[in-house]
Amino acid sequence: MNPDVVVIGAGVVGACCARACVEAGLTVVVVDRGAVAGGTTGGGEGNILVSDKEPGPELDLALLSRELWAQMAGSLGDSFELDPKGGLVVATHQHTLDYLLRFADEQRACGVIAEPVAATDLPDHEPRISRDLAGGVLYPQDMQVQPMLAAAHIIEAACATGRTTLMTDCAVTGIDVDASGAVSGVRTAQGVISTRHVINAAGTWGGEIAALAGVELPILPRRGFILVTEPLPPLVRHKVYAADYVANVASDNAGLETSAVIEGTHSGTILIGASRERVGFDKTLDWHVLGRLAKQAIEIFPLLAEVQLLRTYGGFRPYCPDHLPVIGPDPRVPGLLHACGHEGAGVGLGAATGHVIAQWITGASTSIDLAPFSPARFGASHVA
């Protein structure tokens, strides 16, 4: 096997990278030590948001990504439940509303559609919403997909071209370099794959892959839990969340943060996310966290107090110290590219990530400046 590109990781980001490379005319092998979507992609939600992004490089990436997701959904025949439902961000108090409205003004200047909604008009958009809210902002560009279906169908479509091979249950154990220090191959549990380009799409484990190539990448896990209700007739139309969520996403607090994010799904269940905690890879269920999420959700949708919860699940978001993903070539190892560290937005940002990575490999100019996402921003340290 001698593909143009080896993608490490079969989550949503690896899937998008594989597809974009294939569309750019490259041959690809996707390698995962587990199953497709067996990592964080199978432990999160599928929101594609512009609403929670502050002006800056991540928002630019998000705006491009939502266009590309819509295109992908068009060409893959609605296989992953893309729903352009729009987001509704609400504030429980006047001072949060003031903050939210200022935030929306800044976003609007960058091309986000953000429509203020007065408290009295909220029920027109969400009939079951609490009558005790201060107001909100509607974001029609927010969308949602089913992330596991998305990863699986995108990889399947890439394989159907005959130019992508998928290897699951196949751990990457080493990255080989030639005499000049450039990538020459990937060692796996099933043998060596020769290649000139490796895309590190290993999500929360991206730092381990970087270390295999002798370089450091500061990616750490940020745990999140989600509650799943019993299936219900459609009650929640948008993705609805409290304005505090935006502050939590950008926060550096190591402790527990929760802010309810509520959304209906195709199957009728309502998902209530999501907590944010830095507790390493500890999977222990924490009732305190779940209780706080439930309480906050009930504050926004009082009828949820009568609804049963079926289960909870969670995952570990891959985060970098500055909360930006790492996307692009690693100047320390020619041929090594990173596409990881997307924290709580890997689904949303996945499509654009694959797109710009494929552009870079084929020598095209990238749709977005990759400098803010470069691994060089962490300082060029090699691992001994």
Partner 1 sequence: MSREVVFRFDGAPYPGRDGQTIAAALIDHGILSWRRTRVDDQPRGILCGIGVCFDCLITVNGEPNVRACMTGVEDGDDLRSQEGTGYAQ
Task: Please report, as ranges, the residues that interact with ligand FAD according to CB under 6 A.
Answer: 8-14, 31-34, 38-41, 43-47, 171-172, 201-205, 224, 226, 273-274, 314-315, 317, 340, 342, 344-348
Q: Which of these segments, 206-214, 216-224, 304-312, 345-353, binds partner 1 (CB under 8 A)?
A: 304-312
Q: Which does 246 bind (CB under 5 to 8 A by kind): ligand FAD, partner 1, none?
A: none
| Residue 78 in contact with partner 1, rule: CB under 8 A | no
Minimum separation from the CB atom of position 10 to ligand FAD (A): 5
**In angstroms, what is the minimal distance from the CB of 221 to ligand FAD?**
9
Using CB under 8 A, which residues numbered 310 to 329 contact partner 1? 310-311
24 binds, among partner 1, ligand FAD, none (CB under 5 to 8 A by kind): none
Bridge-based pairing of strands 239-242 and 87-91 is parallel
Q: Binds 45, which of ligand FAD, partner 1, none (CB < 5 to 8 A, cut-off by type)? A: ligand FAD
Q: Which of residues 159 and 307 has its CB atom nearest to partner 1 in the complex?
A: 307
Residue 308 binds partner 1, judged by CB under 8 A: yes
Q: Which residues 224-243 are close enough to bind partner 1 by CB under 8 A?
A: 230-233
* Residue 285 touches partner 1, criterion: CB under 8 A: no
Cβ closest to ligand FAD, residue 136 vs residue 346: 346
Gyration radius of the chain's alpha carbons: 21
Work out whether 181 is an interface residue with partner 1 (CB under 8 A): no
Q: Which is nearer to partner 1, 132 or 230 (CB)?
A: 230
| Stretch touching partner 1 by CB under 8 A, among 54-62, 163-171, 303-311, 346-354 | 303-311
Q: Which of 75, 120, 180, 267 binds partner 1 (CB under 8 A)?
A: 267
Closest separation in Å from C-beta 365 to ligand FAD? 25
3-class SS letters over the chain: CCCCEEEECCCHHHHHHHHHHHHCCCCEEEECCCCCCCCHHHHCCCEECCCCCCCCHHHHHHHHHHHHHHHHHHHCCCCCCCECCCEEEEECCHHHHHHHHHHHHHHHCCCCCCEEEEHHHHHHHCCCCCCCCCEEEEECCCEECCHHHHHHHHHHHHHHCCCEEEECCCCEEEEEECCCCCEEEEEECCEEEECCEEEECCHHHHHHHHHHCCECCCCEEEEEEEEEECCCCCCCCCEEEECHHHHHHCCCCCCCEEEEEEEECCCCCEEEEEEEECECECCCCCHHHHHHHHHHHHHHCHHHHHCCEEEEEEEEEEECCCCCCEEEECCCCCCEEEEECCHHHHHHHHHHHHHHHHHHHCCCCCCCCCHHHCHHHHCCCECC
Nearer to ligand FAD, 86 or 135 (CB): 86
> How many residues are there in the chain?
384
Task: Return the number of the residue (267 or 365) whose C-beta is nearest ligand FAD.
Answer: 267
Contacts with partner 1 by CB under 8 A lie at 230-233, 267-268, 308, 310-311
